Amino acid sequence: MTWNWQSPDWPHFTWDRTQISAVEEQFLLGAGVTIGAVKHLGEGEHNQLLVELMSAEAVTTSAIEGEVLNRASVQSSILRQLGLASPDKRRVMPAEQGIAEMMVDLYRSFSQPLSVGMLFDWHRMVTAGRKDLTDIGRYRTSREPMQIVSGRIGSPIVHFEAPPSRQVPTEMKRLISWFNRTVPRGKDPLPAVTRAGTAHLYFESIHPFEDGNGRIGRAIAEKAMAQSFGQPVLVSLATTILAHQKSYYLALERANRRNEITEWLLWFAEIGLEAQRRSITLVEFILAKAKLLDRLRGQINERQQKALLRMFREGPEGFKGGLSAGNYRTITGASPATTTRDLVDLVEKGALIRTGERKHARYALNLTER
Q: What is the DSSP string of 253-272?
A: HHHTT-SB-HHHHHHHHHHH
User: What pLDDT, on the 0 to 100 scale, is given for residue 282?
Assistant: 84
Report all structural domains of the chain as residue ranges with CATH numbers, in order of start: 4-284 (1.10.3290.10), 300-365 (1.10.10.10)
204, 25 Cβ separation under 8 angstroms: no
Q: How many CB atoms lie within 10 A of CB 61?
A: 27
With contact defined as beta carbons under 8 Å apart, do 225 and 245 qualify?
A: no
Tell me the whole-structure pTM to 2 decimals: 0.86
Q: pLDDT tens for residues 60-82? A: 999 999 999 998 899 889 998 88
The whole-number pLDDT of residue 44 equals 83
β-pairing verdict for 156-161 and 352-355: unpaired
What CA–CA distance (Å, rounded) separates 73 from 83?
15
Per-residue pLDDT of the chain (370 residues; tens, 9 = 90+): 589 999 999 999 999 999 999 999 998 888 888 778 777 778 888 888 888 888 989 999 999 999 999 988 998 899 988 888 655 666 789 999 999 999 999 999 999 999 999 999 999 999 999 999 999 999 999 999 898 887 777 777 888 999 999 999 999 999 999 999 999 999 999 999 999 999 999 999 999 999 999 999 999 999 999 999 887 766 889 999 999 999 999 999 999 999 999 999 999 999 999 998 888 888 888 888 888 988 999 999 999 999 999 898 888 877 778 899 999 999 999 999 999 999 999 999 999 999 998 888 999 999 875 5
Distances (CA, A) of 237 to 109, 155, 196, 200, 221: 18, 34, 11, 12, 9
Q: Are 215 and 62 in contact (CB under 8 A)?
A: yes
Q: Could you tell me if 193 and 267 are in contact, meaning their C-beta atoms sit under 8 angstroms apart?
A: no
pLDDT on residue 167: 97
